[in-house]
């Protein structure tokens, strides 16, 4: 079963996943704002990205270094596509470093690696932070060893860490932005406020998505797949995945669903 983004009642925020443990948390945070969000492997083809027609793309964090030969990256042509279609791009942690690296800036191993709770200072007025945040500190959660030291043309530093490292950047004319910390985690108290400001005030994303939309769309997919008369057998273990799947299928086709309980010894 696959949800068709074209049927969703909100803009799509696409997360390109580069291996961060928090990638799916970004998705959940955005969905909690009534905005539809999907994860896609960060190395997917450009066609896979453009077919989804996202309104915003977020580059996730990850455990990699841009200097490693096999480090993951977005496909060739992605930058040009985003610019020509005025699609805002936000890089988070590794995503920021990747954006800087691919656009011709310099990323190197940091003089001091930053892990855990840190404070950043918002230095300049920008699209990333409301005006009242300028000149103030924020507590954030960092997890990186590399740092951006030379920014690509058109970019400016918005915030720095207490160690003086780049913490937030932007190129508003190109609609490219970056956060070296993780706004999606609860350890960043103002992170959700930053995401909300970015999506609604900077990108103009339209909300309106709910979990009920998922149910409605999946029922349509099931009915189209199964047809009006066919029956379905479902192996049911009692776990969350199979139980939810069986419940949705039953809503779609009723008594034509036949569940077979699988005793895996865990109940």
Q: Are the beta carbons of 153 and 113 closer than 8 angstroms?
A: no
Say whether 208 counts as a known binding-site residue.
Answer: no
The reply to whether 182 belongs to the active site is yes
Task: Choose, from 93, 114, 144, 218, the residue flagged as catalytic.
Answer: 93
- Indicate which residue of 114, 184, 203, 218 is catalytic: 184
Question: CA of 251: how far to CAs of 3, 11, 220, 223, 261, in Å?
Answer: 17, 27, 11, 10, 19
Nearest CA-CA partner of 28 in 40, 15, 16: 15
Residues 21, 243: Cα–Cα separation, whole Å = 26
The catalytically annotated residue of 101, 182, 203, 218 is 182
* Residue 240 in marked binding region: yes
Sheet containing 56-59: which strands, arranged edge to edge? Answer: 36-41, 12-17, 56-59, 89-92, 176-179, 166-171, 156-161, 106-122, 137-150
| 239 has binding-site annotation | yes
- Report strand pairing: 176-179 vs 166-171: antiparallel
Alpha-carbon distance of 210 to 175, in angstroms, equals 27
Catalogue the active-site residues. Answer: 93, 182, 184
Bind-site residues for ATP: 237-243
């Amino acid at each position: 079963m696959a949800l068709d983004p074209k049927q969703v009642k909100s803009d799509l925020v696409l997360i390109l996943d580069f291996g961060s443990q928090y990638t799916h948390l970004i998705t959940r945070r955005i969905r909690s704002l009534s905005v539809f969000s999907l994860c896609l492997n960060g190395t997917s083809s450009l066609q896979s990205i453009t077919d989804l027609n996202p309104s915003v793309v977020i580059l996730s964090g990850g455990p990699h270094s841009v200097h490693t030969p096999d480090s993951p990256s977005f496909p060739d042509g992605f930058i040009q596509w985003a610019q020509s279609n005025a699609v805002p791009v936000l890089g988070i942690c590794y995503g920021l470093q990747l954006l800087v690296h691919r656009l011709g800036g310099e990323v190197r191993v940091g003089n001091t690696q930053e892990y855990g709770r840190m404070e950043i200072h918002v230095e300049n007025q920008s699209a990333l932070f409301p005006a009242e945040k300028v000149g103030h500190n924020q507590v954030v959660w960092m997890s990186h060893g590399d740092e951006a030291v030379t920014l690509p043309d058109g970019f400016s530093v918005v915030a720095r860490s207490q160690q003086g490292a780049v913490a937030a950047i932007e190129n508003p004319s190109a609609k490219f932005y970056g956060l070296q910390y993780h706004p999606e985690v609860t350890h960043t108290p103002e992170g959700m406020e930053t995401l909300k400001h970015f999506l609604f005030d900077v990108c103009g994303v339209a909300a309106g998505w709910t979990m009920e939309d998922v149910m409605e769309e999946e029922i349509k997919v099931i009915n189209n797949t199964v047809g009006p008369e066919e029956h379905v057998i479902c192996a049911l273990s009692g776990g969350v995945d199979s139980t939810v799947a069986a419940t949705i299928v039953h809503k779609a086709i009723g008594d034509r669903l036949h569940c077979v309980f699988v005793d895996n010894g865990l109940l």
